Chain A
Amino acid sequence: MRDLSIYIHIPFCVRKCLYCDFLSFAVLGAENDGRTGPAAGNPEKTMESYVNLLEREVRAAADRYKDYQVISIFWGGGTPSLLPGETVGGLMELIRKYYRVLPDAEITIETNPGTLTADKLRAYRKAGINRLSIGLQSAKDEELARIGRIHDYRTFQETYRLARDFGFHNINIDLMAALPGQSVDSYGETLRRTAELGPEHISAYSLILEEGTPLYERQAQYRFPTEEEDREMYLLTDSCLSAYGYRRYEISNYARPGYECRHNKVYWERGDYVGFGAGAASMVDNVRWSNPAEPEEYEAYTADRREPETAGILTGAEQMEEFMFLGLRMMCGVSRQRFEELYGQRIEEVYGAVLYRLYRQELLVCEADRIRLTVRGIDVSNYVMAQFLFDR
């Protein structure tokens, strides 16, 4: 029996945040920049028919994974908490019916403050969801407004308290640094307030301005943190959260001991996972594929019960590259022994020169079986990871 993780994509939001370039459609009719999405009009109806497609896909794929046991499920988006509680419950039931979901599987749902209600939380509990991820981003209302979030800090606090009241013992809070108008101090305050609430897990990402997003277009209007400030925020994250007893286990992820996100580790350790929903990505048996992102194409895809289109099995070289640049995201780094087991070659035979150079630059360090980033290496991790790509 092999392990499998499941990702479910819910591409709907109340409205789209100004920095977001993920696949998601606003259900409030008009998006922040005036674009209307396909979900405009009758949101309930749109979501319902989307969930029907999801169910169709989940059922159709079941046969392919009959020899797998599900160790984690992750509802991501978009805003999965937009769905009615019973819809989530219904789909969970379907998954349990068609897949072997382990009793201790980690089951996470991403939520947005302001969309969570007592009814929904009750339904999640009933459906066996045992981990909540709450998108806070900032504890400062003016910062939230600038990036187009639908909630304020107070709403978040209520949501958080409610979640605890309903017995959720594993909660993640998402934060963002380098926001427009954010100062090092205000970011520090967000960190402290968050840590004081005591969630089990905190993710802290830097804002990346993606081309084509409204924020990208209007970036000239704002003062963004300077490069130095950005770096300060980033260093502050680690020092502040460590002081509160969180341990960094991945470049942007912090957890209390024992609460590392199992689902995310599957991505970094190259475990098998299947994604359901429009645009969802999968990797099983070293084959990667993505579902069609456009609603009509996704519908056709589920209707035909087509085999997913893949670019073929990853070559040995591609697997090694991924092993390195994904594995190095984790603070524990990669295992030399594991590398040799998987690829039949010692890691030094393949990457000797690169490793040697990076050791010398004090960006990587090797301790017995593990090779991991140094503190300086974390700072410039992109540079480090790019070194492990082969020339073509």
Chain B
Amino acid sequence: MAAIDQSKIRNFCIVAHIDHGKSTLADRIIEKTGLLTSREMQAQVLDNMELERERGITIKAQTVRIVYNAKDGNEYIFNLIDTPGHVDFNYEVSRSLAACDGAILVVDAAQGIEAQTLANVYLALDHDLDVFPVINKIDLPSADPERVRNEIEDVIGIEAHDAPLISAKNGIGIEEVLEAVVEKIPAPGGSPDNPLQALIFDSVYDSYKGVIVFCRIMEGKVAKGTAIRMMATGAVAEVVEVGYFGAGQFIPCQELSAGMVGYLTASIKNVKDTAVGDTVTDLNNPCAEPLPGYKKVNSMVYCGMYPADGAKYPDLRDALEKLKLNDASLHYEPETSVALGFGFRCGFLGLLHLEIIQERLEREYNLDLVTTAPGVIYRVHKTDGEMTELTNPSNLPDPSQIDYMEEPVVSAEIMVTTEFIGPIMQLCQERRGRYISTEYIEASRALLRYDLPLNEIIYDFFDALKSRSRGYASFDYELKGYEESKLVKLDILINHDEVDALSFIVHADSAYERGRKMCEKLKEEIPRHLFEIPIQAAVGGKIIARETVKAMRKDVLAKCYGGDITRKKKLLEKQKEGKKRMRQVGNVEIPQSAFMSVLKLDND
């Protein structure tokens, strides 16, 4: 293609609540634009990581450039930027949105607006994007497009009378969506003659090319040989290649200029240097100011990760190093636990991020892991005036040195049908939530606002929410800040030995309850030994709960299998195999699953 007419470019994304059909619509758009034949289409082209497809969510922002021949006879370039759909990745979402000029809002014709819909659409409006709605899944028997149309207008306040009624799954109404993109989403601004100013919205590490930087050119242009500088990290490099995104592949081109979305490579070795949200400029002809909105991404959740087999420690280290190349938001540092040996304290954006990393380590790197209970970062203000950030409960200073502690608090929005307001409020209350407001979206639905301590929602809040609302509640949150809180460290003693990997920080008021449950859980987890094992929970050296694993009195396989020795041996082997997955603490063998049992305290 010759020079690209800036007025024929449309940069946009799709925002939706999870499961409302974002990825399916993206697939149909790519299909309809004729860049791929139906045969080439995998079920969901944009979600190309195996894990993503299985979980049905998009982990990393991805993007694709397609060509559309519109009804006005012109050829348009669409850059469809896919955004992650989970609150853990809110910052990444915001940077992807900043790379767009408009957004398609997908709303499920049956379910209507959900908490995430609102959060995402407000985020898009905050970035001055032109948003137009489409109503999806109109083929469902329970679809009620008129109600949803009104809801969009009333609740969000955007025009919805001409919202295309579509079924992405069945390919209905896709043309209409494509035409609406041309009409309703503005062409990008900026001038190729200004100094280079490009927004990094993602990056991936490639072992041949180094870091591949995904960027939106706001001003100026960039080509092979351009000396560039990342304005926040200060990294300097020379561009080796620029290009755009084919479906599932990188297609090099001559240059990228204002309004375009594409990638550049510059033999950069680490994604650390290409932070999402940073501005790329021309080293020799820099722009006056970086683009607004850059934030250093901080981990919200920490946990200890240990190889189940101590000898695999170097393998775990190598695997984390490799993952880190591609994931600047993953943090880790070596730590040692008396109970678990050598491992790493790892920081994540949220629990989903943690689970994804854990699964990738186990699946792609074939590692068997023991993970300690995830926790948030506490601020410990010491009596000497110093403040430390606590990521590992074992490092909590002596209580006599602590002046006070703070914990992170989030502002949460929960969308719920009115019949479940009671149970959900009760749940928030149990989780030490502070009620802010209730807003009725329509007669039967309300938006609850609560401030909640982050550590009360990281494990299972979402599950509890779903179960108490029979699946009807949806939830979104953002970090609000730190607040002083009465926190204590709960220690677990097994056979009178403190097990460091089982300690956790808890609010003083729930220490007794948690300690009791923890002891009960551990009693189930720890097999009988030849001697009695006390399991105790303690706060500041004071025992607050106790359970006992009774001594094994009898363990005789009295049954006769005649000459069938193999059967007997299999039983003994099972017993022996069970021991292998144990961790020796003092003279007690603790199954590895026990270290994660704190996660399951509320599941009963």
| Selected contact of B530 from candidates A290, A325, A383, A385, CB within 8 Å | A383
Q: What 0/1 readout, one digit per residue, does chain B (545-589) give for beta carbons within 8 Å of chain A? A: 000000011111111101111101101110110011000000000
Do A361 and B530 contact each other (CB < 8 Å), given the known contacts A282-B563, A380-B552? Answer: yes
- Collect the chain A residues with CB atoms within 8 Å of residue B580's CB: 391
Contact A386 B572 (CB under 8 A): yes
- Collect the chain B residues with CB atoms within 8 Å of residue A381's CB: 555-557
Contact A281 B560 (CB under 8 A): no
| Selected contact of A281 from candidates B555, B565, B572, B576, CB within 8 Å | B565
Contact A251 B556 (CB under 8 A): yes
Do A380 and B554 contact each other (CB < 8 Å), given the known contacts A267-B563, A281-B562, A361-B530? Answer: yes
Do A383 and B575 contact each other (CB < 8 Å), given the known contacts A230-B554, A251-B558, A361-B530? Answer: yes
Contact B562 A380 (CB under 8 A): no
| Selected contact of A382 from candidates B556, B563, B565, B579, CB within 8 Å | B556
Alpha-carbon distance A275/B559, docked complex (angstroms): 19
Contact B557 A322 (CB under 8 A): no
Contact A380 B556 (CB under 8 A): yes
- Collect the chain B residues with CB atoms within 8 Å of residue A322's CB: 565, 569
Interface status of A345 (Cβ within 8 A of chain B): no
Alpha-carbon distance A363/B552, docked complex (angstroms): 13
Alpha-carbon distance A271/B571, docked complex (angstroms): 22
Contact B554 A288 (CB under 8 A): no
Interface status of A156 (Cβ within 8 A of chain B): no
Contact A203 B553 (CB under 8 A): no
Do A7 and B572 contact each other (CB < 8 Å), given the known contacts A380-B556, A381-B557? Answer: no
Alpha-carbon distance A273/B562, docked complex (angstroms): 11
Contact B576 A389 (CB under 8 A): yes
Interface status of A195 (Cβ within 8 A of chain B): no
- Collect the chain A residues with CB atoms within 8 Å of residue B557's CB: 208, 381-382
- Collect the chain B residues with CB atoms within 8 Å of residue A208's CB: 557-559
- Collect the chain A residues with CB atoms within 8 Å of residue B559's CB: 205-206, 208
Shortest Cβ distance from B578 into A: residue:
A386
- Collect the chain B residues with CB atoms within 8 Å of residue A383's CB: 530, 552, 555, 575
Contact A389 B553 (CB under 8 A): no
Interface status of A321 (Cβ within 8 A of chain B): yes
- Collect the chain A residues with CB atoms within 8 Å of residue B572's CB: 325, 382, 385-386, 389
| Selected contact of A206 from candidates B530, B558, B562, CB within 8 Å | B558
Q: What 0/1 readout, one digit per residue, does chain A (364-386) give for beta carbons within 8 Å of chain B? A: 00000000000000111111011
* Number of interface residues, chain B, beta carbon within 8 A: 24
Of A204, A283, A383, the most chain B CB neighbours within 10 A belong to: A383
Interface status of A59 (Cβ within 8 A of chain B): no
Contact A325 B556 (CB under 8 A): no
| Selected contact of B562 from candidates A76, A204, A230, CB within 8 Å | A76
Contact A267 B556 (CB under 8 A): no
- Collect the chain B residues with CB atoms within 8 Å of residue A361's CB: 530
CB distance from B571 to the nearest CB of A (A): 8
| Selected contact of A288 from candidates B552, B560, B565, B579, CB within 8 Å | B565
Do A325 and B563 contact each other (CB < 8 Å), given the known contacts A231-B553, A380-B555, A383-B552? Answer: no
CB distance from A86 to the nearest CB of B (A): 26
- Collect the chain B residues with CB atoms within 8 Å of residue A280's CB: 563
Contact B564 A290 (CB under 8 A): yes
Interface status of A186 (Cβ within 8 A of chain B): no
Interface status of A170 (Cβ within 8 A of chain B): no
Alpha-carbon distance A386/B580, docked complex (angstroms): 12
- Collect the chain B residues with CB atoms within 8 Å of residue A326's CB: 565
Q: In residues 218-263 of chain A, which contact B (Cβ within 8 Å)?
A: 227-228, 230-231, 234, 251-252
Do A283 and B553 contact each other (CB < 8 Å), given the known contacts A252-B560, A386-B576, A389-B573? Answer: no
CB distance from A110 to the nearest CB of B (A): 10
Alpha-carbon distance A234/B555, docked complex (angstroms): 11
- Collect the chain A residues with CB atoms within 8 Å of residue B565's CB: 267, 281, 283, 288, 322, 326
Alpha-carbon distance A386/B569, docked complex (angstroms): 9
CB distance from A91 to the nearest CB of B (A): 18
Alpha-carbon distance A204/B554, docked complex (angstroms): 15
CB distance from B79 to the nearest CB of A (A): 55
| Selected contact of B556 from candidates A234, A281, A282, A321, CB within 8 Å | A234
Do A288 and B558 contact each other (CB < 8 Å), given the known contacts A227-B553, A389-B572? Answer: no
Alpha-carbon distance A231/B552, docked complex (angstroms): 11
- Collect the chain A residues with CB atoms within 8 Å of residue B562's CB: 7, 76, 267, 281
CB distance from A14 to the nearest CB of B (A): 20
Contact B555 A7 (CB under 8 A): no
Q: In residues 110-142 of chain B, which contact A (Cβ within 8 Å)?
A: none
CB distance from A161 to the nearest CB of B (A): 26
| Selected contact of B569 from candidates A76, A283, A321, CB within 8 Å | A321
- Collect the chain B residues with CB atoms within 8 Å of residue A290's CB: 564, 566
Contact B563 A379 (CB under 8 A): no
- Collect the chain B residues with CB atoms within 8 Å of residue A206's CB: 556, 558-559
Contact B554 A234 (CB under 8 A): yes
Q: In residues 166-188 of chain B, which contact A (Cβ within 8 Å)?
A: none
- Collect the chain B residues with CB atoms within 8 Å of residue A288's CB: 565-566
- Collect the chain B residues with CB atoms within 8 Å of residue A228's CB: 553
Contact B563 A281 (CB under 8 A): yes
Shortest Cβ distance from A376 into B: residue:
B530
Of A208, A228, A389, the most chain B CB neighbours within 10 A belong to: A389
CB distance from B310 to the nearest CB of A (A): 14
| Selected contact of B553 from candidates A275, A321, A379, A382, CB within 8 Å | A379
Do A275 and B575 contact each other (CB < 8 Å), given the known contacts A231-B554, A251-B558? Answer: no
Do A379 and B554 contact each other (CB < 8 Å), given the known contacts A288-B566, A386-B575? Answer: yes
Contact B558 A252 (CB under 8 A): yes
Contact A380 B560 (CB under 8 A): no
Contact B566 A281 (CB under 8 A): yes
Contact A203 B575 (CB under 8 A): no
CB distance from A250 to the nearest CB of B (A): 9
Q: In residues 49-64 of chain A, which contact B (Cβ within 8 Å)?
A: none
- Collect the chain A residues with CB atoms within 8 Å of residue B558's CB: 177, 204-206, 208, 234, 251-252
- Collect the chain A residues with CB atoms within 8 Å of residue B552's CB: 380, 383
Alpha-carbon distance A385/B555, docked complex (angstroms): 11
Q: In residues 265-286 of chain A, which contact B (Cβ within 8 Å)?
A: 267, 273, 275, 280-283
Q: In residues 325-351 of chain A, which contact B (Cβ within 8 Å)?
A: 325-326
Q: Can you name 16 A-B residue pairings with CB atoms under 8 Å?
A: A7-B562, A177-B558, A205-B558, A205-B559, A206-B556, A206-B558, A227-B553, A231-B554, A267-B565, A363-B530, A379-B554, A380-B554, A382-B571, A386-B572, A389-B573, A389-B576
Which 6 pairs from chain A and chain B are nearest by CB? A206-B558, A281-B563, A386-B575, A380-B555, A281-B564, A382-B555
| Additional A-B contacts beyond A325-B572, A379-B556, A386-B575 (15; CB < 8 A) | A204-B558, A205-B559, A208-B559, A228-B553, A273-B563, A280-B563, A283-B563, A283-B565, A288-B565, A321-B569, A322-B565, A380-B555, A381-B557, A383-B555, A386-B576
